[in-house]
């Protein structure tokens, strides 16, 4: 009997351990868990790609800034060279004044709009009106007046009454 009790206890322990291992494997191999692991892996890959992309953009703009700074420096060197050469080689002071850096040369003066252009009255231009003026009312009554087009109808009605 002792061997039988021992056997039953070993069977019970084996069953419990097998059930635990089966439950753990079921949870671990469950399709939803596979899907979540795939999504986590995809998320990590996308985060890594995003980080790499941000680094590339940062490097691009840093290099662009350096190239623009170099371009500005080269432009200044060319301008200084031309200015120095003009001062040495050209006796005309007007040319050398135009080549020197000053605020007036950096921002060219615009002609005065009021003095350079003719006024609307000089050209004969009149802004369109959105109302009927008094002169128009005396003639016909403007297109927005209450009497517009009615005068001719009144005249035709009066003519018909006179002929009748």
Is 21 in a helix, a strand, or coil?
helix
Planar angle of CA 24, 30, 34, nearest 5 degrees: 115
What confidence score (pLDDT) does residue 55 get?
95
Which of 22-31, 127-136, 139-148 reaches the highest mean pLDDT? 22-31
- Of the candidates 141, 161, 159, 162, the residue with the CA atom closest to the CA atom of residue 150: 141
Give SS3 for 30: coil
CA distance 141 to 135: 8
Express each pLDDT in 76-134 by its tens digit: 999 889 888 877 887 666 665 666 654 344 444 544 544 445 666 666 667 666 665 66
Q: Report whether pLDDT(25) > 60.
A: yes
Report whether 132 contacts 143 (CB < 8 A).
yes
pLDDT at 45 over 90: yes
- What is residue 13's predicted lDDT score, i.e. its pLDDT? 92
Query: Is residue 150 within 8 Å of 138, Cβ to Cβ?
Result: no
pLDDT on residue 117: 58
Residue 25 structure tokens: 């494997």
Q: Which residue has the higher pLDDT, 58 or 6?
A: 58
Report the largest interatomic distance among the alpha carbons of the chain, rounded to a whole angstrom: 144
Output the pLDDT for position 142.
58
Q: What is the pLDDT of residue 94?
A: 62
What is the residue-wise DSSP string for 98-160? HHS--HHHHSPPPPPHHHHS--HHHHT-----SS--HHHHHHT--TTSTTTTHHHHHHHHHHH
- The reported pTM is 0.37
């Amino acid at each position: 009997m002792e061997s039988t009790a021992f056997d039953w206890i070993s069977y019970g322990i084996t069953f419990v351990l097998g059930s635990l291992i089966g439950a753990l494997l079921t949870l671990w191999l469950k399709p939803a868990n596979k899907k979540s692991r795939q999504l986590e892996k995809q998320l990590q890959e996308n985060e890594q790609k995003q980080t790499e992309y941000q680094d590339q953009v940062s490097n691009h703009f840093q290099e662009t800034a350096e190239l623009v700074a170099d371009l500005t420096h080269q432009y200044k060197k060319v301008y200084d060279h031309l200015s120095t050469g003009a001062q040495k080689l050209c006796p005309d002071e007007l040319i050398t004044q135009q080549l020197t850096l000053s605020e007036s040369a950096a921002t060219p003066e615009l002609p005065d709009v009021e003095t350079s252009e003719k006024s609307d009255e000089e050209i004969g231009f009149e802004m369109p009106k959105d109302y009927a003026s008094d002169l128009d009312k005396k003639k016909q009554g403007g297109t927005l007046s209450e009497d517009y087009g009615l005068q001719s109808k009144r005249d035709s009605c009066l003519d018909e009454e006179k002929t009748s």
